[in-house]
Amino acid sequence: MSDVKLLYITVPNESEAAEIARQLLESQLIACANIITGIRSMYWWEGSIQQESECVLICKTVNNLIDEVVDKVKLLHSYSCPCVLTIVVESGNLDFLNWLKASVREVNY
């Protein structure tokens, strides 16, 4: 199994997603990010069903940086309780996985 992880983050708009991604990249907490626009989210919030247009920010990083990434996203995000979920990467293109690991801040594996 790889120590590479994906973070699935919902964001209210593309500009906020880009700003979060930029700051995570500048801190070398992630190797890259994808912004997916035009999603519709439906969820329970404060006792009722809500519906909003959002973006999804998918960030690629390593296991040892997850806590730092989550903390930084919580500081930057406009939501009081942002969705930040970790997705395990079992395997993939070894060249890509090695590039990803080399692109983030050095951590002890």
Instruction: Specify whether the CB–CB gap between 31 and 100 falls below 8 A.
Output: yes
Q: What pLDDT score does 107 carry?
A: 67
What the block records as the tokens of 58 is: 């998918």
Q: What is the mean pLDDT of residues 97-109?
A: 85
Cα gap 37→39, rounded to integer Å: 6
Q: What's this model's pTM, rounded to 2 decimal places?
A: 0.93
Please say if the pLDDT value at position 56 is more than 70.
yes
Is 34:57 a contact under the CB 8 Å cutoff?
yes
At 70 the pLDDT is 98
Q: Give percent above pLDDT 90 in the chain.
A: 94
What kind of architecture, by CATH, is found in domain 4-103?
A: 2-Layer Sandwich (3.30)
pLDDT of residue 35: 98
At a CB cut-off of 8 Å and minimum separation 6, what does 25 contact?
32, 33
Q: What local confidence, expressed as pLDDT, does residue 86 receive? A: 97
